[in-house]
Amino acid sequence: MKPLIGVTAYRRTFPKTGWLYDVSYARNAIAIQESGGLPVLVPSWLDEQDLRDIYDRLDGILLTGGEDIDPTNYNKPRHETVTTFDPKRDETEFALTRWAVADDKPILGICRGCQVMNVALGGTLHQDIPTFIDTKQRHDLHVPEEPRDQIMHNVLIQPETLLAHIMGGEKVAVNSIHHQCIDEPSPDVRVVAHSDDGIIEGIEVPGRQFALAIQWHPEDMTSLPHMKNLFDQFVNAAQARIRI
């Protein structure tokens, strides 16, 4: 039996009609399916009981990329660069994160998902890297001129961590599509990776089978064995949970 992996979705309004859609970047579901899991889109607008009923049927949670988190969630005034956010999506993904960590259900965060995991567990964010961090290193693409799999910088990984084991080493070249990043890490996470300029690129929750979040987008780089291995190991952890 293949594990069911919840892939968080978000709402989009089709500009020509005003119709609402629940959407998610396709490469996330493709990566899960290619690694042996069954992707299930989780809408962001469900009430808590319906969300819990779906969560209880899932074997793993994938927190996807997307818009900024509302900074009121970590008691900060909104920076001028934070112009699009969805409080209901924040609420939904915070709940999924807290439940998964409490239940030791495998959870993987990607980009925004890394930020969600940190904030859900009590951390904060830098709302705009160019404003708050002195760096000449680029962390965001020029869209759509540059491809999503474009290598932007290196990430240095702490040895003897889950992420180092999955990546097969302590240095990896990654893509990058974000203007926010972790400021104060949650007391419940361990910072396990940084970019060359010190920006946090990976966190893990100690004592959990698989509770890992990264700042880059491995779903766009699964042609590389170590990036596909991230999804393989995540799905394997969810598969192992079925046998418990």
d(CA 95, CA 111) in angstroms, rounded, equals: 18
Q: Is 170 exposed, middle or buried (0-12, 13-18, 19+ CB in 10 A)?
A: middle
Which candidate in 93, 111, 114, 153 is catalytic? 111
Which candidate in 93, 201, 204, 219 is catalytic? 219
Which candidate in 126, 139, 178, 217 is catalytic? 217
Maximum alpha-carbon separation in the chain:
52
d(CA 81, CA 131) in angstroms, rounded, equals: 9
Q: Provide, for the chain, the percentages of residues in helix, strand and coil under a 3-state DSSP scheme, each rounded to the nearest 5.
A: 35, 25, 45
Any catalytic annotation for residue 111? yes
Any catalytic annotation for residue 201? no
Strands 125-126 and 211-214: unpaired
Write out the catalytic residue numbers.
111, 217, 219
